[in-house]
Amino acid sequence: MAKIAVPITSLKQLKKAEALADIIELRLDFFTKRDLAQLKKLKTSKQLIATLRPKWELGNFKGTEIQREKLFSQLVASHNFTYVDLEFDAKFSKDFTKQVKASGAKLILSKHFPKNIPSVPELQKLQKQMAAKGADVCKIIGTAERFFDNLSTLNLVKLSTSPIVSFCMGEFGPISRILSCTFGAEFTFASLDKASGTAPGQIPAVELRQAFTQLANRPDASGILMVIGDPIDHSLSPQMQNAAINHLGLKSFYMKQRVPPELLKDFTFMCKSLGINGFNVTIPHKVSVMQFMDFTDKHASRIGAVNTVTIQNTRAFGHNTDSLGVSFSLKQLDPILKAKKVLLIGAGGAGRAAVYGLWKQEADITLTNRTESKSLALARDFNCKTLPFSSLRNPKILSDFKIIINATSLGLKSDVSPISKFPKAKAKGNGAPIAFDLVYSPKGTQFLKKAKSAGWKTLDGSEMLVQQGAEAFKLFTGETPNINIMRDAVKKSLSAKK
């Protein structure tokens, strides 16, 4: 089983770390004088790493190298550490290395690259130099300025024949923190919690443990599933998909990752190179990701957008399950969509999928979009009518529609709605018109709140999330998930956010 090291910056954090970590890193450069004095009394069953990191290597120690070596030497002499982490570029005497070895601790020589991570051959050369200086474990850490950078550290781990710790820090590096142990690293690092990270990109220990438990020593990257977007923090797909994965006992882990538009190609290349299982796609990438697919199925091609990517033999296959989610969700409130007058707001990836789903149900569709050229192009594709975006300010025009769908990202901002005032519903109960927001929010979007106050039936995007997610799950795994478990996971997550 992969080992997790959790850094602590105070002895007050020790008890919590003991419950989460296999190894505890004592970040002595952050310890107070009182904490340092109490180290002699420290008792724990966990393995310990002693680290006294200087400012020049992303640490907190502010003194000179002479002062640092003196203090570090005193601390090594006063406690039995499992590992002692010393920077490869430290200006310490050879006596310190001898002292560490004599104490019974293993020497970690470490090097951090805050930018411009070297090539794999250069990293291998560095590893040999570390070994020559007496390293028992070589720790080589990069920073993922782009997703491709993760491949350097992961390939280094794959090729290593001696103990190594190597992954990438930064917002784009979490996948390397997980897969480094899959490929043979001695251990990896996680934060105590979301607020206690000591390096950028650290995954909370609870989440990293969940990943390792679900992957169950899987020997490659094929158990990794992801959802990408920008923004992505709001996504409940990980909770939903991991619930289904656990129910079926599959060796997979589903995670989310922010991918800015300029790194979408780079991300796709990384996934294909690693051979991960696949990923879901949300705003704003559903249309733009198509250009990086090796193949798209007939639904995605007709829609002109992809929300699910499966990877087989380094080839990316694009699919779209959103359209099924839209039509299924609407049918819960109105089983017959044929000839129903529907106004769809938005012409992006989600809007295109919604049009396709409604078109297949033979609904009477009218499109509107802030950028009129996009709604006109989409209308030509599906032989729909259009309205100027300014029509949304006219309640009389809006009253002609039985269903109004918001397929824009405005719902992600709870204080913004594309419609400022809905017309009063002319009918009540089952006959009332429907307002459907494709996004979901624990507090409800302004779009739905305004519709509800006018007597409209309302529907958020949570059921669409579940339905499209279940179809994506089948594509990823070949298994049929328990949709009730997925639905319950979404409901639970939304309730927790209220």
For the annotated catalytic residues, the residue numbers are 286
Burial class (CB in 10 A: 0-12, 13-18, 19+), 190: buried
Bridge partner list, 253: 224
- H-helix or E-strand spanning residue 206: helix 205-215
Q: Could you give the CA distance from residue 458 to residue 452 in angstroms, rounded to a whole number? A: 6
Contact of 259 with 285, CB cutoff 8 Å: yes
Q: How far is CA 362 from the centre of its chain?
A: 37
Residue 430 contacts by C-beta under 8 Å, 6 or more apart in sequence? none
Contact of 259 with 228, CB cutoff 8 Å: yes
Q: Could you give the CA distance from residue 61 to residue 69 in angstroms, rounded to a whole number? A: 11
Bridge partner list, 403: 342, 434
Burial class (CB in 10 A: 0-12, 13-18, 19+), 173: buried
Contact of 290 with 261, CB cutoff 8 Å: no
| SS3 state at 150 | helix
Helices (H), 38-196: 65-78, 94-103, 120-132, 149-159, 174-182
Taking phi over 0 as left and psi of -120 to 50 as alpha, with beta for the rest, 249 belongs to: left
Q: Number of C-alpha atoms within 13 angstroms, CB side, residue 358? A: 28
Query: How many other CB atoms are found less than 10 A from the CB of residue 437?
Result: 28
The conformation of residue 203, written as its DSSP 8-state character, comes to P
Residue 384 contacts by C-beta under 8 Å, 6 or more apart in sequence? 355, 359, 365, 366, 367, 378
- H-helix or E-strand spanning residue 255: strand 253-258
Query: How many other CB atoms are found less than 10 A from the CB of residue 131?
Result: 16
Q: How far is CA 3 from the centre of its chain?
A: 21
Please work out, in degrees rounded to the nearest 5, the angle formed at the alpha carbon of residue 122 by the alpha carbons of 116 and 124. Answer: 125
